[in-house]
Structure 1
Amino acid sequence: MKFKSIIASIALVFSTTVVVAQQAGFSEKALGTAVQQYLILENKLVASDAGEAQKAAQQLQTALKKVKNNQTILQYAEKIASSTQLDKQRVAFSSLSNALIALVEKSEFTSGALYKAYCPMANGNQGAYWLSSKNEVLNPYFGNKMLKCGAVKATLK
């Protein structure tokens, strides 16, 4: 079991590095910065690290303050930033993801792509979406419990 945890940690460090390397660009530069902060938050939730997720959400809040039409998204980021409970962070992450996805889908990409993933078992089997920088499932709603649960539903670019 310890070996799996070590491998998962190494994979997470690598995936965080990949997030920075494969940036999706937008005509609104501030949105690109906010999306990168969101992806860092997503990785912290995949790692099931509530403390680091809280810090990432605080950084996301800072980035979102420069984005147009940010109010709803900012409110959800604030909920995550003010909580140290992983379950509550994940519920707010679902709402944050829905709001950010709606904004990203209306925005103009200048480079790169994002992947819209879905887990049918998240939120008490109600399901939940999230954005990913990779065309693979690393589930932020369950972390190592069900890391690969879900599917990529769309490529946004």
Structure 2
Amino acid sequence: MKTIKQKLIIPIIAIALVSVTACKDGSKNEPAAPMSNEMHKENPNHDNSDGHHDGQNMEMAMNGDGNGQAVLNDYFNLKNALVGDDNGKAKELGATLATSLGDFDASQYTDTQQSELKDIVEDAVEHAEHISESDIAHQREHFKILSKDVTDMVAITGTENTLYQQFCPMYDGGSAWLSMSKDVKNPYYGSQMLNCGKVQKEIN
């Protein structure tokens, strides 16, 4: 009986070590590859050092023609709610983001860009709406696809603030999100594995 217990304990310890190592390896920053800024958008030059206040730093960007920045503002607030394991707040912010996405005005972009943005926004609204009515595990599943939509949107709209595309190798085979800080605060695991991940790319 003792031998069986020992045989069971060894693989469990090995799995735990592999998980911790994967996260630690993932926390090392790789050289950042800048993404081209195709369009000029207004954005405040606020510094963010702790990764928790992305939304607060973005609020002033909602002035002027920055409706794309309103989307980013709401996205970062949603991300921070998931980092904080706050299901109720994430529901509210999912609904808020769905509204700001619906209000996004793409008229200043080219016909091709408008077509691409229309598809991106429609998909993003759907996932934001799901987040507004789901438990936190399901919210995180939709946030993964929502993050890809917002990243695709930024590739067209551009940003004056440097954004960081971050990556968690552990969640759902690997999942990315955007942040205004290099500091990794993981929205997919929250307090369970808060710093699991790495900076994958700089977006300027």
Give the TM-score of the pair, scaled to structure 1. 0.81
Letter in 2 for 1:135: K
Tell me, what secondary structure is at the counterpart of 2:143?
helix
The answer to whether the aligner puts 1:20 opposite 2:90 as a matched pair is: no
* Counterpart for residue 197 of structure 2: 150
| 1:115 aligns with one of 164, 172, 176 | 164
Whether contact under 8 Å (2:127, 2:142) holds in the other structure is: yes
Q: Name the structure with the higher strand share.
A: 1
Once the two structures are aligned, what percentage of the paired residues are identical?
29
Shift of 1:21: 2.2
Shift of 1:17: 3.8
* Counterpart for residue 71 of structure 1: 122
The answer to whether the aligner puts 1:61 opposite 2:110 as a matched pair is: no
Shift of 1:107: 1.9
- 5 Å-filtered alignment, 1:36-47, equals 36-47=73-84
| 2:188 aligns with one of 118, 141, 144 | 141
Q: In 2, Cα distance between the equivalents of 1:75 and 1:18?
A: 23
Tell me, what secondary structure is at the counterpart of 1:98?
helix
Tell me, what secondary structure is at the counterpart of 2:195?
coil
Residues 53-101 of structure 1, C-alpha deviations (whole Å, 9 max, x = no match): 0011111111111224211111110110121x11000000001001111
Shift of 1:128: 0.6
Letter in 2 for 1:92: H
* Counterpart for residue 7 of structure 1: none
* Counterpart for residue 178 of structure 2: 131
Shift of 1:20: 2.0
**Cα distance change of structure 1 residues 76 and 24 upon mapping to structure 2, 3 Å threshold:** farther
Whether contact under 8 Å (2:51, 2:183) holds in the other structure is: no
Count of matched residue pairs: 140
| 2:147 aligns with one of 67, 78, 97 | 97
**Cα distance change of structure 1 residues 77 and 22 upon mapping to structure 2, 3 Å threshold:** closer
Letter in 1 for 2:158: E
Letter in 2 for 1:152: V
Whether contact under 8 Å (2:53, 2:80) holds in the other structure is: no
Letter in 2 for 1:96: L
Letter in 1 for 2:56: V
Tell me, what secondary structure is at the counterpart of 2:75?
helix
Shift of 1:129: 0.5
Tell me, what secondary structure is at the counterpart of 2:72?
helix
Task: Find the structure with the greater CA-based Rg.
Answer: 2
**Cα distance change of structure 1 residues 81 and 25 upon mapping to structure 2, 3 Å threshold:** same
Give the aligned CA root-mean-square deviation in angstroms: 2.2
Q: In 1, Cα distance between the equivalents of 2:100 and 2:190?
A: 25
Structure with more relative contact order (C-alpha pairs < 8 Å, separation 6 or more): 2
Letter in 2 for 1:119: C
Q: In 1, Cα distance between the equivalents of 2:59 and 2:161?
A: 6
